[in-house]
Amino acid sequence: MPVTDVSHDLDARTLTIVADFAAPPKRIWEVYADPRQLERIWGPPSHPATFVDHDLAPGGRMNYFMTGPEGEQYYGYWEVESVDEPHSFAFDDGFALDEEFTKNPDLPVSKNVFSFTDHEGGTRATYVGIYATAEGLQQVLDMGMVEGASTAINQIDELVTA
Amino acid sequence: MDGTDEDRVDAWFQALSDRTRRDILRRVLAGEHSVSTLAASYDMSFAAVQKHVAVLEKAGLLTKRRQGREALASGDVAAVRSVGTMLTELESLWRGRITRIDELIAETHPQKD
């Protein structure tokens, strides 16, 4: 497991994940810079992601949707704030209402900084997400919970019907 | 875990063992929905959707309130799971992403500089 540390602070409304990869930062950067690679890693196997728009540049927008097991679609967007290739990028991560990627004002937006530094011949990646309110973090956690649980349960479904 | 907790976990897993119910729960976690709006989203009768909502309500995953003639449903996960457990679930989404990056970089050829 390449994850070295996960920490969360409900008071500061921050989630931090640190992971080490056996490839240089340039290679990890490519995963985010190439929409076909990014969609292979962003959604869980039960909810693959499709990036419709991909502009990893300051002021750029990334629009994507995730498709569930019954074909249902969940829309999201990233609004890119700053880019320092191949070391870091910062963006707002939000939910969208529809295929026009209209922002959903009722769901929380998080501020994210992804950074990649040289570390023992590979890369140390640090992912930081900050939510404006504790309720916002809670809401995202609630949604993440269901996604995780349904993935596990789908696997049980497959096992018992095999 | 005592008998009451076990019963609750059973009810929870049973409620989530159905795809339609998982989908209903996803929708009501994102915001309050009327049962009739939910029913319009599925290719099944209003009564069948109502029954799914009732199973989720009984499991403590969803709460309902009345507004005039409408029954409004919203997700209530906090009632059954602690914040700590939910954080673990969000972590697992992240762990999944990181494992997929690891697999992706392992399968491609090293970059020529």
**In chain A, what are the domains?**
3-161 (3.30.530.20)
User: Which CATH number describes the domain made up of B3-107?
Assistant: 1.10.10.10
Min mean pLDDT across A18-22, A56-60, B76-80 is at B76-80
Residue B2 has pLDDT above 60, yes or no: no
Nearest chain B residue (CA) to A30? B105
Q: Which residues of B touch A95 (CB under 8 A)?
A: 30
| Mean pLDDT value of segment A37-61 | 92
Rounded CA-CA distance B104/A2 in Å is 13
> What's the pLDDT at B83?
41
From chain A residues 52-81, the ones with a CB under 8 A of any chain B CB are 68-70, 72, 74
Q: Which residues of A touch B85 (CB under 8 A)?
A: 145
Nearest chain B residue (CA) to A97? B30
> What's the pLDDT at A157?
39
| Mean pLDDT value of segment B32-59 | 93
Q: Which residues of B touch A42 (CB under 8 A)?
A: 97
Residue B40 has pLDDT above 50, yes or no: yes
Query: For residue A53, what are the contacts with CB-CB under 8 A and spacing of at least 6?
Result: A61, A62, A63, A101
pLDDT category, B25, cuts 50, 70, 90?
confident
Q: Which of A27, A75, A106, A146 to probe the B interface (max B CBs under 10 A)?
A: A146
> What's the pLDDT at A160?
37
Residue A100 has pLDDT above 60, yes or no: yes
DSSP H or E run through B54: helix B46-58
Q: Is the dihedral of CA A148, A5, A42, A141 positive or negative?
A: positive
